[in-house]
Copies of this chain bind each other. A is one copy, B any other.
Amino acid sequence: MTTMTPQQVRRHHQGPTAGLADGYAQANLIAVPEDWAYDVLLFTQRNPRPCPVLDVTDKGRTTTVLAGNADLMRDVPRYRIWEHGELVDEPTDASAHWRDDLVAFLIGCSFTFESALKLVDVPLRHVEQGRNVPMYVTDRECRPAGRLHGPMVVSMRYVPADLVDTAKRVTSRMPAVHGAPVHVGDPGALGIADVDRPDFGDRTEPHEGDVPVFWACGVTPQAAVMASKPPFAITHAPGHMFVTDVPDLAYQL
């Protein structure tokens, strides 16, 4: 698809990252004031399917073990700035908003298991169609933690019916990037009214015989920010991930 390195994506890319820097793990970002860090970390522990944590920074630091020379306040393609649960800005550089009291959490992203799916010939419709993956807010509540609560968000990929078991098996061995699907088949079972109207990302086109397969999604902390209204937070924009230097398959058991 691309010849961009992880560092090139971090430095120069401003759009969705699905299919970019092929073979390298991508991550969701949520940064909150220190006072909220325990609630966020406990929320991730209690909801490991949507929120598998790959790294947590020390307060005031914007570096991560996942990419030695990266700067978390500049190297995400697009950010969302939140005040009391309201989206107030969507910059491509967050350095004007970053604060010394922020703790940043990097959370596994399902783009990371896409290279494993490709290796077993599971097609990726959103990548083929040049779109961001579709994401949906479900009616499943996460287990609350302190002041944080909110619904689980899922991503959806259309998978040929005869490859669903393969997709389940391959992704089940990658729990750090959401693991096995949370549901296969009926969007209504997750409270999704219309699969063609995702809450985040783009709709994708199924091929004949495709089945919708839903995985827990790292946008879930953003839904918790909207529901729980911490005074301040910085996240990535959905689909616009932090690209790490860690190979995708490092997260396969």
Contacts and interface: CB of A to CB of B under 8 A. Distances in A.
A142 to B, nearest CB: 14
B56 A172 contact: no
A53 interface: yes
Nearest to A172: B253
A232 interface: no
A56 B42 CA distance: 8
A39 to B, nearest CB: 10
Interface string A162-189: 0000000000110100011000000000
A137 B28 CA distance: 35
A103 to B, nearest CB: 9
A99 interface: no
Interface in A15-60: 37-38, 41-42, 44-46, 53, 56
Contacts of A42: 41, 56
A41 B45 CA distance: 9
A42 B172 CA distance: 25
Interface residues of A, number: 15
Contacts of A44: 45
A46 B66 CA distance: 12
Contact of A173 (B37, B45, B46, B253): B253
Contacts of A172: 253
Contacts of A38: 37-38, 41
Interface string A77-91: 000000000000000
A179 B253 contact: yes
A46 B53 CA distance: 9
Interface of A: 37-38, 41-42, 44-46, 53, 56, 172-173, 175, 179-180, 253
17 contacts: A37-B38, A38-B38, A38-B41, A41-B41, A41-B45, A42-B56, A44-B45, A45-B45, A45-B53, A45-B56, A46-B56, A172-B253, A173-B173, A173-B253, A175-B175, A175-B253, A253-B253
